[in-house]
Amino acid sequence: MVDIREVPEADIDRALELAYLVFHDRPEKEARERHHALLARCDRIGAYDGDALVGFMAAHDFRLSVPGADLPCPGLTFVCVAPTHRRRGVLTGLMTEMLRRATDTGRPIAALWASEAAIYGRFGYGGATTGTTIEIDSTRPLALRIDPDPRPLRLVDPDEAVDVIGPHHEAARAGRAGRPSRSPERWREEWLAEQDEEDEEFSPPRIIVLGEPGEPVAGYVLYRTKPESAGDTAGTAARTTGLVRVDELEAQTPAVAAALWECVAAVDLTGKVSAWGRPADDPLLHFAADRDQVRVTAQFPALWLRLVDVGAALTARSWAAPVEVVLEVHDARLPDNAGRFRLKAGPDGATYAHADGAADLALDVRELAACYLGGTRVTDLVAAGLVQEHTPGAAAALDDALRTPVLPHTGDEF
Ligand SMILES: CC(=O)SCCNC(=O)CCNC(=O)[C@H](O)C(C)(C)COP(=O)(O)OP(=O)(O)OC[C@H]1O[C@@H](n2cnc3c(N)ncnc32)[C@H](O)[C@@H]1OP(=O)(O)O
């Protein structure tokens, strides 16, 4: 019999051993200490078989930017079940407890990054943002259709970076839905960690900001570099095949973005810039003069979102256009969300209440979550057979209301 309960701080090392076992990992002491500190700050739920910890789940205490608001949102991480106990409902038990805690503490949404896309739909999570990997052939200067901002660029020491770029990041979060808040600890232990967690060949983080000295920065790029691969050390090719990996680039204007991309594409002794997890509507894809030089090489579901309290989530966000629809929502895990509800929303706010009339649209809560940040169109899900449209035009009207000026985006993998 497996018991689902709080994991005390004294059991964090056991939780880490279980996580390293299931993720086939053997991190160095420094990374273990970092993970320990991270889990000490998280909400922790365990599955115990007798004294043995056989399942674990942690949750960051995030806020997530949604259109027009910033909502408390547990960010699930370190989800793991022992190989001896898989497919016996342990994850289901952990998830049920996590959703109960979110409900009890008034957090209307929850989010995660999935190790495998097939796992979380059954728990009501929908893929709400899309990550786009962009590669630049930087063996030649980046060709641009707009003039880059001419203001000065300067390197910032990682020790000062949180103070210098943190406020810019926070402001950018408000402008795009899908972004978790970032504590000083997460800045330091993840984005600005000296050692890259995934690949020790990468350099420490480099931060370049744009703006006049003494003024708030107008944009920044955070990147790491990697020399050419071993064995490829002779000749011209070797001098130009190093890699610049852009971890984050934020800019107030297209001209600032152009200057920062131009700068990273010009890093000496490198021949490629790779930026994973960019927004699907990255302006670079439009102002690059040569789309053979700047290519999209991958697109993937990034943030998986769960509407824990559908009514609270829908009425908290802003709406681009008026809409009135009756939704028939299916939610196999959280019955309070299930049923027929009238959504009346517009630029002045929204109401969401039980309705008696016929439904205009019928959908599962995971489909509603996929559309909630404006990154998935309801009409596309109607076309895919996942949303039933009983009243012609209802899906398009809901799309008009859900639309956001820019696509949602999540650069934080957690
Ligand atoms: C947010 C994150 O941390 S993502 C990281 C997730 N963790 C990992 O990938 C680590 C390795 N994997 C594991 O630890 C486990 O296999 C887990 C956590 C993925 C699943 O745990 P389990 O306890 O086996 O899941 P549980 O028994 O509750 O399964 C519930 C349902 O999900 C299904 N399921 C579970 N894992 C998977 C999977 N990887 N792919 C597809 N379906 C899955 C089960 O078949 C079951 O289906 P059913 O309801 O139709 O019967």
Query: For 59-103, how does the pLDDT look when each residue is reduced to its tens digit (9 = 90+)?
Result: 999 999 999 999 999 999 999 999 999 999 999 999 999 999 999
Query: For 340-374, how does the pLDDT look when each residue is reduced to its tens digit (9 = 90+)?
Result: 999 999 999 999 999 998 999 999 999 999 999 99
Note the pLDDT of residue 239. Answer: 57
CATH architecture observed for domain 131-300: 3-Layer(aba) Sandwich (3.40)
CATH architecture observed for domain 2-107: 3-Layer(aba) Sandwich (3.40)
Q: How far is CA 64 from CA 102, 165, 396, in A?
A: 14, 19, 26
Q: 156 labelled as ligand-binding? A: no
- Predicted structure pTM score: 0.95
Evaluate if residue 128 carries a pLDDT over 80. yes
Amino acid at 100: R
Closest-lying ligand 1 atom to the alpha carbon of residue 114? 4
Evaluate if residue 231 carries a pLDDT over 70. no
Report CA(94)–ligand 1 centroid distance (Å): 11
Nearest CA to ligand 1 atom 51: 87
The C-alpha R_g of the chain, in whole angstroms, comes to 23
Both tokens of residue 58?
């942690």
Determine whether the shortest distance from the Cβ of 77 to ligand 1 is under 6 A. yes
Contact between 81 and 54 (Cβ < 8 Å) = yes
Percent above pLDDT 70 for the chain: 97
Across the range 8-14, mean pLDDT stands at 98
Note the pLDDT of residue 168. Answer: 94
Note the pLDDT of residue 159. Answer: 94
Across the range 286-304, mean pLDDT stands at 97
Determine whether the shortest distance from the Cβ of 114 to ligand 1 is under 6 A. yes
- Residue that is written with structure tokens 């990034």 in the block: 302
Note the pLDDT of residue 238. Answer: 52
- Residue that is written with structure tokens 């934020």 in the block: 250
Determine whether the shortest distance from the Cβ of 258 to ligand 1 is under 6 A. no
Note the pLDDT of residue 214. Answer: 87
Give, for 81, the enclosing helix (H) or strand (E). Answer: strand 69-81
> Around 115, how many Cα atoms within 13 Å sit in the side-chain half-sphere?
9
**Most confident of the ranges 20-34, 231-245, 376-390:** 376-390
Which residues of the chain are in CATH 3.30.1050.10 domains?
308-402
Predicted complex ipTM: 0.97
241 or 330: which carries more pLDDT confidence? Answer: 330
Q: 91 labelled as ligand-binding? A: yes
Catalytic residues: 120, 414
Which residues of the chain are in CATH 3.40.630.30 domains?
2-107, 131-300
Evaluate if residue 125 carries a pLDDT over 70. yes
Evaluate if residue 258 carries a pLDDT over 90. yes
Note the pLDDT of residue 236. Answer: 53
Determine whether the shortest distance from the Cβ of 59 to ligand 1 is under 6 A. no
Q: Which residues contact 256 (CB under 8 A, 6 or more apart)?
A: 149, 210, 218, 219
Report CA(119)–ligand 1 centroid distance (Å): 6
Note the pLDDT of residue 237. Answer: 53
CA distance 282 to 280: 6
DSSP string covering 303-323? -EEEESSHHHHHHHS--SS-E
Note the pLDDT of residue 229. Answer: 64
Note the pLDDT of residue 193. Answer: 92
Q: 323 labelled as ligand-binding? A: no
| Residue to substitute in 92, 119, 300 for testing ligand 1 pocket (most ligand atoms within 8 angstroms of CB) | 119
CATH architecture observed for domain 308-402: 2-Layer Sandwich (3.30)
Evaluate if residue 50 carries a pLDDT over 70. yes
CA distance 403 to 376: 9
* Beta-strand pair 323-330/361-364: parallel
Closest-lying ligand 1 atom to the alpha carbon of residue 92? 28
Beta bridge partners of 126: 305
Residue 206 exposed, middle or buried by CB count within 10 Å (0-12, 13-18, 19+)? middle
- pLDDT tier at 1 (50, 70, 90 boundaries)? confident
Q: 2 labelled as ligand-binding? A: no
CA distance 224 to 8: 36
Determine whether the shortest distance from the Cβ of 80 to ligand 1 is under 6 A. yes
Note the pLDDT of residue 188. Answer: 92
